[in-house]
Homo-oligomer: A and B are copies of this chain.
Amino acid sequence: MTDDARDGNRDESRTGPRPARDGHRAGRGTVTGEEEARRMHALVERLYPLCRSITGDGVRRTLEIIAESVRLRVREVPTGTRVLDWEVPREWNIRDAYVKDASGTRVIDFTASNLHVVGYSVPVSATMTLDELRGHLHTLPDQPGLIPYRTSYYAETWGFCLAHDTLEGLDAGPYEVVIDSTLSDGSLTYGEHVVPGRVAEEVLVSCHVCHPSLANDNLAGVAVALGLASRLAETDPWYTYRFLFAPGTIGAITWLARNRERTQRIKHGLVLACAGDRGPLTYKRSRRGDAEIDRAVRHVLRSSGREHGIVDFSPYGYDERQFCSPGFDLPVGSLTRTPYAGYPEYHTSADNPDFVSPEAMLETLETCWEVTRVLEGNRRYLNLSPYGEPQLGRRGLYGSLGGRSDTRQAQMAMLWVLNLSDGRHTLLDIAERSDLPFPAVADAAQALRGAGLLKECAL
C-alpha cells in the first residue's frame, strides 16, 4: 500500500550470482555536466521562495515541482498518527505576517523573506511596544546583517526573526503585530521516487525538504538527488533506488514507521544535505562505520583526488540519526559539502542561491554517481586458474590493451584481480588494497571473465 506493488515479487532474483554487465559504465546519456549543473541551480532558485516547514502547503508545492521531473508518489499522513515514539503534529500554514510601525510601514515583512517568521508560529494580531515585542524577536548580534532561521515545532509560541541591525533601528513603538497562520489538523506530506532495479534490494537516497528559504540546506541536496535520479533513469540498475523527499526528523520517522519491514531491503543509503556550498566534500560514516556504503564512498573520494573529509558517525546532524538509530542500524551515511552547522551562513538569510555553486553541486552529483557505480559493479569472483599466473598474452589480454593510454593500470588491475579473487575478496576489496580506481578493477574483472579466467561467486 505504501509501496510499489511490483517490488514485492522480485526477491527470487536475489539468489545466485548476478548476470554479467558493465554496470559501472552505463548511464549519463547525452546531457553534459554543464547542463546538469545549470538545471540543478535553476531548481534551487525556483524552490527557494517557497515557505516550507515540516507540514503544510510549502512542502506540497515543493513536491509538485519535484514531480515535474520524476515520477513521484506523494503520501499524506494525518495529524495524530502515531509514528514510532512520535505523533504526526498539526499542520501549519501561513499566508502573511508583519510588524508595522505607526506610519504603516512593514518594518518586518514575511513577504520579503519567509525566514522572518519563527516556523510553526501560532496566529497573532496585536499592538504592542518594542519592549513588549522584544521577547518574541530573534537576531544574530554577531552577524548583525543576517536574519536567523528559527522554529518551534513542539512548543506553542510565536516569533519574528530579523537582522540585528534592523532591530537596532527600531523605535519604541507601538507596532501592529500580525501573524496570519493556521495550526490545525491536517497531514504530513512526503514524496518517494523509485528507480526500479533488477532486484528488490534498495539503495536509499534521502533529503529533507522542510526548510524554508535556505538554499544549501537543503534545496541543493534535493537538486543533486534529482540529478542522480535522472542519471539512473538512463541505466538498467541492479539495485532498486528509492529517493525520499521528506521533512527532517518527523518525516524520516514517519517513513520508517510505515516501512519497518521494508527497511530490511535497504542495503546502502545516503542522506544528502548541504550539497552545494564551496567547501570540500564531507562524508559521515554510518553507525556501523565499515558498511559497504562507507567503504564505497571513501574509495570514490580518495581515488577522485577531490578535496574531502571523512568523519565518524555521531548521533547528530540530519536524518542519518533516525536511519542509524540502534533498532534500525541501517547502512546509511551522509554526504555533504561543509557539514551540518559548519559554515557561518548556516541557518541564516545568507544561505541563499548565490551561496550555492553549480560546480559544487555537479561535483557532489558526480561523487554520488561514482558511488552508485561502485555499488552496482561490486562483485566477488573466483580465479579459475589460481596456480601461478595464467598466461595472459596467449589470451590476447595484454595485446587487447595495447592501444589504451592506461595500459599499465589495466595490466596491474588484471594481476590484482587474479591474485585476490580467491572467493574472499570483492572488487571493492581489491580496489582498496591495490589503490587502483574501482572502474579499472571492474574493467579488468570483466575482461578476465570474458576470457574464462573468473567465475562469479555469490556476494
Contacts and interface: CB of A to CB of B under 8 A. Distances in A.
A390 B326 contact: no
Nearest to A412: B316
A304 B324 CA distance: 30
B419 A322 contact: no
A389 interface: yes
A324 B256 CA distance: 48
Query: Which size class do A's interface residues fall under?
Result: 35 or more
A252 B257 CA distance: 60
A415 B321 contact: yes
Interface in A372-386: 383, 385-386
A336 to B, nearest CB: 19
A419 B389 contact: no
Given A154-B393, A316-B412, A328 B388 contact: yes
A391 B154 CA distance: 10
A418 B387 contact: no
A84 interface: yes
Interface in A428-443: 433-434
A405 B444 CA distance: 58
Contact of A419 (B86, B257, B315): B315
B385 A85 contact: yes
A325 B256 contact: no
A71 interface: no
B86 A256 contact: no
A287 interface: yes
Contact of A85 (B84, B154, B328, B391): B391
Nearest to A393: B154
A255 to B, nearest CB: 10
A419 B287 contact: yes
Q: Which 9 interchain pairs have the tightest Cβ spacing?
A: A327-B386, A327-B387, A315-B419, A315-B415, A326-B422, A84-B388, A85-B390, A326-B386, A253-B388
